[in-house]
Amino acid sequence: MNVMIKSAADSLRRLRDYSALPGRARAAHRRDTRLGLGADPGIDPSVRAALAWLARAQDCSASNDGGVSRHYSLISGWGTSYPETTGYIIPTVLDADAEFGMDLRTRGKRMLDWLVSIQFPAGGFQGGMIHQTPKVPVTFNTGQILLGLAAGVKTFGDEYRPAMRAAADWLARTQDDDGAWRKFATPFANRGDKAYETHVSWGLFEAARIDPSAGWQEAAMRQVDWAISKQRPNGWFDSNCLADNQRPLTHTIGYVLRGVVEAYLFTREPRYLEASMRCAEGALTALQPDGRLPGKLDSTWQPAAESVCLTGSVQIAHSWLLLYQLTGDRRMRDAGYAANGYVRRTVALDGDENTRGGVRGSFPVSGGYGTYEYLNWAAKFFIDSNLLERAVRAG
């Protein structure tokens, strides 16, 4: 009886919360749950729309500082700029400038100039959105911004080299002896080791490509080797989520996988390719024929969420496609195609300019990740993965 009472109370609470939502949020929920996925609009129109959405996210940031708004919320509107994700959006827009225009090169430079202006003297960068406190240096965020700084050096020259060197040196200097980073954890996630900081190592690899004499690649490899020590025989990683290590998001699975793939691309050490394939094959077992990948996966790769984390889907799709290029394994290619296609079917190319071309945190939009939000990093990873798919299909 107590269980029945609790279930009824939960239903009433959800109904009350839903009724309090703005009309646009309720309409999006109804559309997702009643109509489901739309038609696949194709790669090029989807990418162009997502790039336009990122440009709007920069222009509409509530902090109006040159960074990219973290999100557009169907409940509260545009958020303030997010240093972490602005950092790794930079390579995406700079790479896309030659083909798509939209003044993306100038936009990328505005992002870089803003990030340099908020770098701490020691080299690190803050966590969270620009307005959030405490403002303290955070390992993960610094690693993501390092990806943008390295792209800035490659595109614009030495103007951004001092900031890149300071960030990379700070990361190498603050690493623990076993390869993990623990001293400057984010205050906006649960404490504890984070295997997905292989994505920080990727930033060090990119800096090392520009300046191989600084030793940053050794720090990166130490962390990736530590992360692989957290991998189980079936490919799943322990200590690999923002909040729930027993049921990690595909977003953080995507982070750890991409970091290990990048370790292989930099070093060509077989152990990194083997670890990447173990994780990629495990995730593949959770993929449904229509490209749906549950938003959380447990240690046996079984679904642990009803909704889809669209960010995680395109991140993992990107690594599947990279692994196809490296191994010729067509399972990886077909999985990447399917997951990308699923996410494309959630992207609108018409309607409200605040959501047109944006990528929801979850599908349906009421799901547990980025609830009722369109996320800037979801659009970034969507663009990257679809452009790689286009290259694979052409090649």
**pLDDT digits 0-9 by tens, 223-262:** 999 999 999 999 999 999 999 999 999 999 999 999 999 9
66 within some domain: no
Please state the φ and ψ torsions of residue 249, each to the nearest 5 degrees.
-65, 150
What per-residue confidence (pLDDT) applies to 5? 40
Domain boundary among 186, 215, 248: 186
Co-location of 244 and 168 in the same domain: no
Co-location of 261 and 168 in the same domain: no
Chain position carrying tokens 């994700």: 85
Compute the mean pLDDT over every residue in the chain, rounded to the nearest whole number: 95
Co-location of 113 and 256 in the same domain: no
CA 93/CA 350 separation, integer angstroms: 22
Q: What is the percent of the chain with per-residue pLDDT over 70, rounded to a whole number?
A: 96
17 within some domain: no
**Which residues pair with residue 295 across a beta bridge?**
none
User: Does position 15 have pLDDT exceeding 70, yes or no?
Assistant: no
What per-residue confidence (pLDDT) applies to 190? 87
Co-location of 301 and 389 in the same domain: yes
What per-residue confidence (pLDDT) applies to 7? 44
User: Does position 269 have pLDDT exceeding 90, yes or no?
Assistant: yes
Q: CATH number, domain at 261?
A: 1.50.10.10
Cβ atoms of 247 and 298 within 8 Å: the answer is yes
Co-location of 176 and 240 in the same domain: no
Chain position carrying tokens 């299909």: 393
Co-location of 282 and 358 in the same domain: yes
What per-residue confidence (pLDDT) applies to 29? 94
Co-location of 237 and 385 in the same domain: yes
Co-location of 108 and 165 in the same domain: yes
CA 191/CA 119 separation, integer angstroms: 23
Domain that holds residue 331: 230-395
CA distances in angstroms from 91 to 59, 95, 112, 152, 367, listed in the order given: 18, 6, 10, 8, 29
What per-residue confidence (pLDDT) applies to 19? 84
What per-residue confidence (pLDDT) applies to 6? 43
Domain boundary among 152, 186, 220: 186
Summarize pLDDT for 182-215 with one digit per residue, the tens.
999 999 988 899 999 999 999 999 999 999 999 9
Co-location of 245 and 171 in the same domain: no
Average pLDDT over residues 343-347: 98
CA 206/CA 217 separation, integer angstroms: 9
pLDDT-derived band at 14, boundaries 50, 70, 90: low
Co-location of 175 and 234 in the same domain: no
Average pLDDT over residues 313-332: 98
Per the structure, the count of domains in the chain is 2
Co-location of 363 and 276 in the same domain: yes
Structure tokens that stand for 114 in this block: 């803003």
User: Does position 17 have pLDDT exceeding 90, yes or no?
Assistant: no
Co-location of 390 and 268 in the same domain: yes
What per-residue confidence (pLDDT) applies to 272? 98
User: Does position 4 have pLDDT exceeding 60, yes or no?
Assistant: no
User: Does position 342 have pLDDT exceeding 90, yes or no?
Assistant: yes
Average pLDDT over residues 292-316: 98
339 within some domain: yes
30 within some domain: no
User: Nearest Cα to 123, choosing from 105, 106, 141?
Assistant: 141
Domain boundary among 186, 214, 246: 186
Average pLDDT over residues 145-157: 98
User: Does position 9 have pLDDT exceeding 50, yes or no?
Assistant: no
